[in-house]
Amino acid sequence: MSSAYRGDETLAQLLAQAGVPQTPADIRSLVAGVLAAPEGMEPDGWMVLVGERLPEELAGQLRALKAGLAAGRVAEAPDRADALADFVLVAMMGLSAAARDGADRAALERVAAMAGRAFRRELSGT
């Protein structure tokens, strides 16, 4: 079931209720990276970077945020789009392999946060 995005304040509350440490700004950066990469076989697969077994209300808001950003986004770095998409793909593959090999959630979250910061820096050109 799809719903409209209810805003960053609601997202922050849902993240906190689910025990997810990321902020709405962190999630927006993650979604920007997801949107830069080709969509895979599992359109919601990226949500593992937010957390496991997310409550449906939170998952719905994440889907709505992604859809809204996809519909309204402006290409901020078209000359680097392929490189940014490759970065996201490699980061997600690495996280997936690490999870498969037994990395704990805290370690995966730290790496995902670092990848998000690196992506933001690359996107902003600093």
What average pLDDT score do residues 9-14 get? 96
Q: How confident is the model at residue 20, as a pLDDT?
A: 95
Could you tell me which of 125, 2, 103 has the C-alpha nearest to residue 49?
A: 103
Q: What is the pTM of this model?
A: 0.61
- Render pLDDT for 47-57 as a digit per residue (tens, 0 to 9): 999 998 999 99
Q: For the chain, what are the domain ranges?
A: 8-124
Handedness of CA 51, 121, 34, 114 (dihedral sign): negative
Burial class (CB in 10 A: 0-12, 13-18, 19+), 3: exposed
Query: What would the pLDDT profile of 60-74 be if each residue is shown by its tens digit?
Result: 999 999 988 887 643
- pLDDT of 38 reads 82
How many whole angstroms separate alpha carbon 45 and alpha carbon 32?
Answer: 15
CB-based contacts of 40, cutoff 8 Å, min separation 6: none
Q: Residue range 30-39: average pLDDT?
A: 86
